[in-house]
A and B are shown apart, each in its own frame.
Chain A
Amino acid sequence: MSDMVVSTMFTPWQAIGGGCLIGGAAVLLMWSMGRIAGISGIVAGALTETGGERSWRLSFLAGLFFGAIVAAYFSGALVGVQSVASMPVLVAAGLLVGLGTRMGGGCTSGHGVCGISRFSLRSVVATMVFMASGAVTVFVIRHLLGEGV
C-alpha cells in the first residue's frame, strides 16, 4: 500500500472556528428548508433526484464551493493539501464511502453533527461505528502493514 504518512499540527482554534460555522450552517438549513445538512445525502440527492428536490441541493453545493473558495483564499488552508493514498486505493475508498454512506444513511455531517445533536440513537451508533472502523483501518495500514513513521 502506497499510503504516505504526513504529520500535522493540532489546530484547536481553526477547528473550533470551522466547527461553529458547520453547526451554524446546519441550523440555518433546518430553519429555512427543514432539511438535514448531511452532505452524502445532499450529493446523492443532487445525482438522483429531479426538480425542486435536486435544485435546492445544487444551490447548497454551489454555496459550499463558493464558501470554500473564499475561505481558502483568506486562510490558505488548502495550500499543500494532497492525497494520502494511491489512485487504486482512492477509487476503492470512494466506492466504499459512496455505498457505505447511502447504506448507513449518512456521513460525518448527517450522523456526526446533525443526528447526534438531535439525540438520534441511529446517528450515535453510526458515528461510533464509522469512527471505530476508520481507526482500525488506519491502524492496519500504518502500523500492521507497516509503512508508517
Chain B
Amino acid sequence: MSRLIVLLAGALFGAGITISGMANPAKVQNFLDISGNWDPSLAFVMGAALVIATPGFFFVLKGQRPRFAEVFALPTKKDVDAKLVLGAVMFGVGWGLSGLCPAPALVALLTGAAPFLAFLLAMFAGMLVHRFVFER
C-alpha cells in the first residue's frame, strides 16, 4: 500500500513536470534569460507548487508521524554555510548551460534523444563523485 502511494506521488510529480513544460530545456533557459526573450512560466510552476505545498506541509507536519513511516525525515542543518552556496552556484551554472535540472532531465529522457542520456549519466557521475570522493 505504501509503495502504491509513493508510486502515485512520483506519477503526480512526473505529470506535473511534463504538463508544466519544464521538461523543455528551451523554456527553462528562456526563464533564466531575463534580458532576452523572457518566458516567466517557471515562476508560475514554482509559485503554484508553493501555494499547494505551503499549507499542505503545515497541516501534514502537525501530525504525529507519517502514515507509513516512523518519523518525518526533515533536514536537520539550519546554518547557511559555504558548501550550500558553492553547491548552489555550481548547480545554477549547470542548469543555465543546459536548461536541465534533475527531474526535467529524467522526463526529457522519454524523448529518446541521446543528449539527455549523456546529461543524466554525467549527473549520476557528479553525484557519485560527491558520495565517494567528497563524503569520505
Interface residues of A (CB under 8 A from B): 3, 5-12, 14-37, 39-40, 43-44, 47-48, 55-56, 59-72, 75, 77-78, 81-85, 87, 89-105, 107-109, 111-118, 120-122, 125-127, 129-139, 141-143, 148-149
Contacts and interface: CB of A to CB of B under 8 A. Distances in A.
A23 B91 contact: no
Contacts of B54: 117
Q: How large is the interface on B (under 10, 10 to 19, 20 to 34, 35 or more residues)?
A: 35 or more
B110 A39 contact: no
A27 B19 contact: no
Contacts of A102: 87, 126-127, 130-131, 134
Contacts of A94: 94, 98, 100, 105, 118-123, 125-126
A78 B92 contact: no
Shortest 6 CB-CB contacts between residues of A and residues of B: A98-B126, A63-B10, A18-B20, A104-B87, A94-B122, A19-B48
17 contacts: A17-B16, A18-B21, A32-B6, A64-B14, A68-B15, A78-B18, A96-B126, A97-B94, A105-B87, A109-B102, A113-B49, A126-B88, A133-B90, A134-B32, A135-B92, A135-B96, A137-B97
A33 B2 CA distance: 8
A19 B85 CA distance: 26
A92 B20 CA distance: 26
